[in-house]
């Protein structure tokens, strides 16, 4: 049973939200410290933001938590490469927010357009405002449409990036289906850092699986702005066995960096020449979601430096940044990492609100990749704050063995599925 004051607090929060959602500019009263009442706003209902909002309520039920997310339905990127390869329906990627609501989080179906850090206030697209004591930014990535000449939003409708799951995923899927047998698929991968370091190589693998089984005279060229990539030896060994002669990886030193795009002719231009594609998947450079830039928490790299203990911005106080938008040192930009960071950040915010000192933390990441439906590989790492960054603890992680029986690869493909079910149930269920 909630206390009388607890009920009143809930009612007043609802009133604030209701008027915010109704588009009425609202100035909420600042939280009164000492009465155990604080308001935390979390922007972005993805793996990082939805986890953080739920964990805050679990850590301290007296904290009022508002999750701001414009979409009623989240579309997950992990396993979206399997959608592109025709191995899974897009519906399997959709998740709603009922579970988050039931956990006691208020949901504002809004988009945040501005943040006034000094006033501790967020501004919604419809003109409404909401006060916070602490703010968590978890907006994920935005594509840098200014970074690759010729690649703008119109070009992305012809040569999809499919690096935000949804319409772009389906567009690439349809293009592969429409391509004639014997066609050339060209995929381009960006320089570090970017969302999901093994993602382009998993995508190349699963597209190769589709081509091998449905359009065997076709070919895939993977143009890369790097000379090395995540789980490289494992991917290359698997490609040799599963897709001999089908995938051509062109590294940076071999002229793999794409410097220009001509969408009209579906051409990717590199320093060494041009590649004409029947289907082109351009994965361009990225940066933190626009709201992080607007809040002033991103530096010149386009990403957000944070204190590795609390995830508080190094640039703006009382704002924390988690997930892909953050510069998390050696931690990769993954859903697993976003979820781990969100839990630590939520616990730290609850401690800070109670006036306690931050604790020592360790964070884990594991990234599974499918090379074929029954062939999985993984990399795992453990991270801790050191010298102002999250650094990898040596000898604590590892990758799948290079030599392994088929049964082990099959088991890892099953673990990948189980991981996705577990994380999505925990975050959205």
Ligand X SMILES: Cc1cc2nc3c(=O)[nH]c(=O)nc-3n(C[C@H](O)[C@H](O)[C@H](O)COP(=O)(O)OP(=O)(O)OC[C@H]3O[C@@H](n4cnc5c(N)ncnc54)[C@H](O)[C@@H]3O)c2cc1C
Q: Which residues bind ligand X (CB under 6 A)?
A: 43-49, 68-71, 74, 77-78, 80-81, 111-112, 138-140, 163, 195-196, 199, 289, 291, 323-324, 333-336, 338, 367-368
The label of the residue with tokens 């030193």 reads: 253
| Residue 408 φ/ψ, nearest 5 degrees | -70, -40
At closest approach, how far in Å is the CB of 37 from ligand X? 24
Looking at the Cβ atoms of 51 and 310, the one nearer to ligand X is 51
Q: Coil, strand, or helix at residue 75?
A: strand
Looking at the Cβ atoms of 128 and 196, the one nearer to ligand X is 196
Looking at the Cβ atoms of 157 and 181, the one nearer to ligand X is 157
d(C-alpha 224, C-alpha 261), whole Å: 14
Helices vs strands, H then E, count in the chain? 11, 25
Looking at the Cβ atoms of 49 and 190, the one nearer to ligand X is 49
d(C-alpha 68, C-alpha 124), whole Å: 9
At closest approach, how far in Å is the CB of 48 from ligand X? 3
Looking at the Cβ atoms of 28 and 77, the one nearer to ligand X is 77
At closest approach, how far in Å is the CB of 245 from ligand X? 25
At closest approach, how far in Å is the CB of 261 from ligand X? 19
At closest approach, how far in Å is the CB of 345 from ligand X? 12
The 10 Å CB-count burial string (b at 16+, else e) for 222-252 is bbbbbeebbbbebbeebbeebbeebbebbbb
d(C-alpha 351, C-alpha 59), whole Å: 9
Q: Which helix (H) or strand (E) holds 220?
A: strand 219-224
At closest approach, how far in Å is the CB of 230 from ligand X? 11
Nearest to 258 by CA among 186, 194, 205: 186
Looking at the Cβ atoms of 74 and 235, the one nearer to ligand X is 74
Cα separations in angstroms, 407 against 128, 411, 418: 56, 6, 16
Looking at the Cβ atoms of 122 and 221, the one nearer to ligand X is 122
At closest approach, how far in Å is the CB of 84 from ligand X? 8
Find the residue with minimal CB distance to ligand X: 46
Q: Coil, strand, or helix at residue 305?
A: strand
């Amino acid at each position: 049973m909630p206390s009388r004051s607890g009920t009143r607090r809930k009612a007043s929060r609802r009133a604030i939200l209701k008027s915010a959602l109704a588009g009425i500019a609202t100035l909420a009263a600042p939280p009164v410290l000492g009465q155990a009442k604080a308001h935390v706003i979390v922007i972005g209902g993805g793996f990082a933001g939805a986890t953080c909002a739920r964990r805050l309520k679990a850590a301290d039920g007296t904290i009022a938590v508002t999750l701001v997310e414009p979409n009623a339905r989240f579309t997950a990127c992990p396993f979206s490469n399997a959608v592109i390869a025709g191995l899974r329906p897009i519906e399997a990627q959709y998740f709603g927010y009922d579970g988050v609501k039931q956990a006691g989080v208020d949901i504002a179906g809004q988009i945040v357009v501005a943040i006034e850090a000094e006033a501790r206030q967020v501004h919604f697209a419809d003109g409404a405002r909401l006060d916070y004591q602490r703010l968590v930014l978890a907006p994920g990535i935005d594509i840098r449409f200014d970074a690759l000449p010729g690649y703008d939003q119109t070009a992305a409708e012809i040569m999809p990036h499919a690096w935000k799951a949804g319409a772009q995923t389906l567009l690439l899927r349809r293009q592969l289906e429409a391509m004639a047998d014997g066609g050339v698929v060209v995929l381009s991968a960006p320089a570090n850092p970017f969302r999901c370091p093994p993602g382009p190589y998993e995508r190349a693998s699963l597209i190769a699986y589709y081509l091998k089984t449905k359009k065997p005279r076709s070919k895939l060229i993977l143009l890369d702005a790097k000379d090395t990539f995540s789980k490289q030896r494992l991917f290359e060994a698997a490609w040799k066995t599963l897709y001999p002669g089908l995938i051509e990886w062109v590294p940076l030193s071999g002229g793999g960096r794409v410097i220009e795009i001509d969408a009209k002719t579906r051409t990717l231009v590199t320093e060494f020449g041009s590649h004409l594609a029947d289907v082109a998947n351009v994965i361009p450079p990225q940066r933190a979601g626009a709201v992080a830039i607007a809040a002033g928490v991103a530096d010149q790299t386009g990403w957000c430096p944070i204190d590795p203990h609390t995830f508080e911005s190094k640039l703006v106080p009382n704002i924390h940044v988690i997930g892909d938008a953050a510069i998390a040192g050696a931690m990769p930009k993954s859903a697993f990492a976003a979820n781990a960071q969100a839990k630590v950040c939520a616990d730290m915010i609850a401690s800070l609100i109670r006036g306690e000192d931050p604790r020592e933390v360790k964070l884990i990441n594991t990234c599974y990749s499918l090379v074929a439906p029954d062939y999985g590989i993984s990399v795992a790492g453990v991270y801790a704050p050191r010298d102002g960054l999250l650094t990898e603890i040596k000898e604590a992680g590892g990758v799948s063995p290079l030599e392994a029986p088929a049964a082990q690869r099959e088991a890892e493909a099953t673990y990948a599925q189980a991981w996705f079910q577990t994380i999505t149930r925990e975050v959205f269920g």
